[in-house]
């Protein structure tokens, strides 16, 4: 895989642990014709060999051999002209050895020192837990779809254990984006049975997830039956278990055609799931352009390096370079005095909110 795809990894020196952000990965956006208008959706894929095989089968990458042990960012080649082109966050950082020593700086690479990791409370914090924090708190919130390849990660029980750790540690909303725009989760597993049932597999996984959550948090047992659903809703927009096609070697053409059709059907399911989340983000006016995507992610990296407790705020981040003027309240007062009483709620409030969040004046208001 080209090194230009490399996006995120970890390193250390004598005193500090760093997360590295490779800006060269954003060169993928140069293929977009209108980066200020196109709003990318991002599918996060976590796994190893099965994940790499799926990327090839789905034709989401022109060059993907896997085994990179980092996080790579790619642009699906066929979507460069689409309104919402597809980004692939190819995640293998969990396969990496402990962060290696960084002897020198690299041009175009941002080193984010993990300030919180220097505290005594994180002593003994293992490398794998750190990786899953990167997945959960940095990559996941900006994704539209998260795919866990269960067979690469130790099976569905291992994935349930991983997700339980996310749910228990992330007891707050992941960001200040609307809940309706949160990413959906797919658990992809090879199933040899010809009677695979998506409904049953999902219910079985939810039972595993509940047991793993109970094991991690004893107080969970005493809570209401709806607590697991509540925890899931704080992070994700839904969860399903799907079967990966089982490519058993066969010389029969009919079997080969059936497998191809299965891969095509799964590809369609994944892309449609991602697009539905993106449609919700567009409706909520949080489907960011490619250029805004880069800016927000860079700010999110800086936030992650400083604070893993407080959720990243897109609203606050959007104001960093454009702080609210100190006399803003007096301007609001003057503006409201010029608005007739019946229009305060329908006209004035949307304009004020738009000015504060920098999301642009709603077009439908122009006629009022």
Task: Provide the strand spans (E) within the chain.
Answer: 6-12, 17-22, 41-46, 71-75, 86-91, 100-101, 109-113, 145-149, 184-190, 239-244
The larger pLDDT score, comparing residue 341 to residue 157, is at 157
Range picked from 61-65, 236-240, 325-329, 342-346 for highest mean pLDDT? 236-240
Mean pLDDT to the nearest integer, 88-98: 94
pLDDT for 32 equals 94
pLDDT for 49 equals 94
- The Cβ-side half-sphere exposure at 335, using a 13 Å CA radius, reads 15
Q: Provide Rg for the chain, Cα atoms.
A: 22
Confidence of residue 227 (pLDDT cuts 50, 70, 90): confident
Specify whether the CB–CB gap between 27 and 292 falls below 8 A: no
What the block records as the tokens of 61 is 């990458």
Map residue 103 onto helix, strand or coil.
Answer: coil
Specify whether the CB–CB gap between 314 and 177 falls below 8 A: yes
Spell out the alpha helix ranges (H) of 58-193: 127-134, 150-153, 156-169
Spatial separation of the C-alpha atoms in residues 45 and 54, rounded to whole Å: 10
Confidence of residue 356 (pLDDT cuts 50, 70, 90): low
Mean pLDDT to the nearest integer, 247-269: 76
Pairing assessment for the beta strands 145-149 and 184-190 based on DSSP bridges: parallel
Spatial separation of the C-alpha atoms in residues 95 and 102, rounded to whole Å: 19
pLDDT for 338 equals 78
pLDDT for 252 equals 59
pLDDT over 70 for what percent of the chain?
A: 86
pLDDT at 249 over 60: no
Nearest to 293 by CA among 318, 263, 267: 318
pLDDT for 363 equals 44
pLDDT at 20 over 70: yes
The larger pLDDT score, comparing residue 96 to residue 351, is at 96
| Four-point Cα dihedral 276, 26, 6, 270, nearest 10 | 10
| Segment holding 147, helix H or strand E | strand 145-149
Spatial separation of the C-alpha atoms in residues 275 and 108, rounded to whole Å: 32
Q: Which domains does the chain have, with CATH numbers?
A: 3-319 (3.40.50), 328-365 (no CATH)
Spatial separation of the C-alpha atoms in residues 105 and 93, rounded to whole Å: 20
Pairing assessment for the beta strands 71-75 and 6-12 based on DSSP bridges: antiparallel
pLDDT at 120 over 70: no
pLDDT for 353 equals 77
pLDDT at 220 over 70: no
Average pLDDT, the chain: 85
Alpha carbon of 316 to those of 171, 290, 322: distances in Å? 21, 19, 10
Confidence of residue 367 (pLDDT cuts 50, 70, 90): very low
pLDDT for 349 equals 81
pTM (global) more than 0.75:
yes
Nearest to 70 by CA among 156, 148, 11: 11
Min mean pLDDT across 58-67, 142-151, 251-260, 317-326 is at 251-260
Spatial separation of the C-alpha atoms in residues 85 and 75, rounded to whole Å: 7
Specify whether the CB–CB gap between 132 and 91 falls below 8 A: no
């Amino acid at each position: 895989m080209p090194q230009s795809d490399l996006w995120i990894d970890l390193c250390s020196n004598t005193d500090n642990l760093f997360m590295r952000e490779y800006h060269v990965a954003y060169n993928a956006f140069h293929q977009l014709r209108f980066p200020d208008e196109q709003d990318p959706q991002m599918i996060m894929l976590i796994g190893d060999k099965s994940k790499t095989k799926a990327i090839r089968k789905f034709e989401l990458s022109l060059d993907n051999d896997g085994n990179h042990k980092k996080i790579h960012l790619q642009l699906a080649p066929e979507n460069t002209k689409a309104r919402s082109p597809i980004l692939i966050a190819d995640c293998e950082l969990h396969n990496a050895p402990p962060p290696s020593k960084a002897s020198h700086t690299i041009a175009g690479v941002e080193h984010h020192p993990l300030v919180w990791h220097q505290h005594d409370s994180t002593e003994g914090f293992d490398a794998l837990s750190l990786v899953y924090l990167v997945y959960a708190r940095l990559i996941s919130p900006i994704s539209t779809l998260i795919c866990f390849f269960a067979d690469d990660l130790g099976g569905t029980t291992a994935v349930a254990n991983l997700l339980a750790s996310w749910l228990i540690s992330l007891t707050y909303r992941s960001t200040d984006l609307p809940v309706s725009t949160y990413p959906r989760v797919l658990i992809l597993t090879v199933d040899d049975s010809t009677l695979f049932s998506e409904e049953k597999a999902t219910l079985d996984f939810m039972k595993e997830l509940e047991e793993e959550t109970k094991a991690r948090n004893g107080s969970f047992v005493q809570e209401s039956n709806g607590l697991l659903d509540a925890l899931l809703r704080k992070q994700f927009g839904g969860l399903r278990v799907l079967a990966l096609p089982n490519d058993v070697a066969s010389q029969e053409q009919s079997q080969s055609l059936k497998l191809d059709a299965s891969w095509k059907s799964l590809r369609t399911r994944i892309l449609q799931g991602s697009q539905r989340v993106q449609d919700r983000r567009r409706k909520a006016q949080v489907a960011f352009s490619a250029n805004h995507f880069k800016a927000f992610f860079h700010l999110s990296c800086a936030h992650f390096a400083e604070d893993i407790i407080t959720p990243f705020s897109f609203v606050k981040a959007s104001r960093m370079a454009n702080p609210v003027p100190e006399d803003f309240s007096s301007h609001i007062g003057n503006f409201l005095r010029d608005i007739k009483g019946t229009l305060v709620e329908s006209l004035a409030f949307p304009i004020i909110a738009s000015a504060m969040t920098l999301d642009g004046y709603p077009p439908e208001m122009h006629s009022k």
